Amino acid sequence: MSERSLPVRLLRRLFFDGVVRFLVLFVLGLNVRHRERLPAQGPAVIVANHNSHLDTLVLMTLLPRHLLPRIRPVAAMDYFLRNRALAWFAREIIGILPLRRGRPRRGENPFADIDAALAAGEILILFPEGTRGEPERFAAFKQGVARIHQAHPEVPVIPVFLHGLGKALPRGEALLVPFFCDVFVGEPVDAGGERRVFMQRLEQAMNELAAEGDFPPWE
């Protein structure tokens, strides 16, 4: 993790404690189920379905404030580092861990940064759908999360199902429309390092969490 200077650290605190909390807890508002299942410390991986830029901010608000410096949302390099201003904001204020989408280059280990972050006890936020996609629709999970579990079988992977954020701010929209959003936290998914078993259990856990809710139609 890049060492932040004091002004940047203060700016980051101000952004999360002021802007993000106001946005997430007042403008939106959350119904959280099983909050006690969230990790109290790193290393850990939080896995969620992805519908909106707000997803990351909501998950970061849910964790205890003192953990903020240890949270790293894993985010697409091509999208978030596409210009200097956005790259600065994504790296310094949000604190993303940039990941290259697509086929890895020769001799490159695409998981090197993730392995290092987990070894340093950080909490990763991961969206295995790989994209926000169609709002409020599940897309197939990519396999990278299973590779992380295989390499770090002792690190808890906590599934979180999010609903409503794709209604509030879907992909391609700049206008935020307030809705209460649901956050259902699952039990840690464990498969003893077995990749295929892990993917099955993770997808099953997500489907079970999604089935806990009874959501109004939005077509």
Partner 1 sequence: MFAHLSPNVLWMLGGLFGLLAIASGVQWWLARRHPQRDFGELRARIRSWWVMVAVFALAIVVSPTVSVVFFGIVSFLALKEYFSIIPTRRADRRVLFWAYLAIPLQYYWVHIGWYGMFIIFIPVYLFLFLPFRMVLIGETRDFLRAAGTLHWGVMTLVFSISHAAMLLQLEGPVLPAGGAGLLLFLVFLTQANDIAQYIWGKRFGRRHIAPRVSPNKTWEGFAGGVTTTTLLALVLAPWLTPFSTAQAAAAGLLIGGAGFIGDVTISALKRDIGVKDAGSLLPGHGGVMDRIDSLTFTAPLFFHLVYYLYF
Which spans of this chain sit near partner 1 (rule: CB under 8 A)?
Answer: 29, 31, 135, 164, 167, 170, 173, 175, 177-180, 214, 216-219
- Residue closer to partner 1 by CB (options 14, 177) is 177
Q: How far is the CB of 29 from partner 1 (least distance, A)?
A: 6
- Residue closer to partner 1 by CB (options 124, 165) is 165
- Residue closer to partner 1 by CB (options 98, 178) is 178
φ/ψ bin of 84: left (φ > 0), alpha (ψ from -120 to 50), beta (otherwise): alpha
- Residue closer to partner 1 by CB (options 11, 32) is 32
Backbone angles phi, psi at 75, to 5 degrees: -135, 155
Distance CA 69, CA 94 (A): 10
- Three-state secondary-structure class, residue 74: strand
Q: How far is the CB of 20 from partner 1 (least distance, A)?
A: 18
Residues 6 or more apart in contact with residue 172 via CB below 8 angstroms: none
- Residue closer to partner 1 by CB (options 19, 27) is 27
Distance CA 2, CA 165 (A): 30
Task: Identify the sign of the CA torsion 58, 59, 60, 61.
Answer: positive
What amino acid occupies position 173? E
Q: How far is the CB of 116 from partner 1 (least distance, A)?
A: 40
The answer to whether 51 and 162 have CB atoms below 8 angstroms apart is: yes
Q: How far is the CB of 175 from partner 1 (least distance, A)?
A: 6
Q: How far is the CB of 215 from partner 1 (least distance, A)?
A: 9
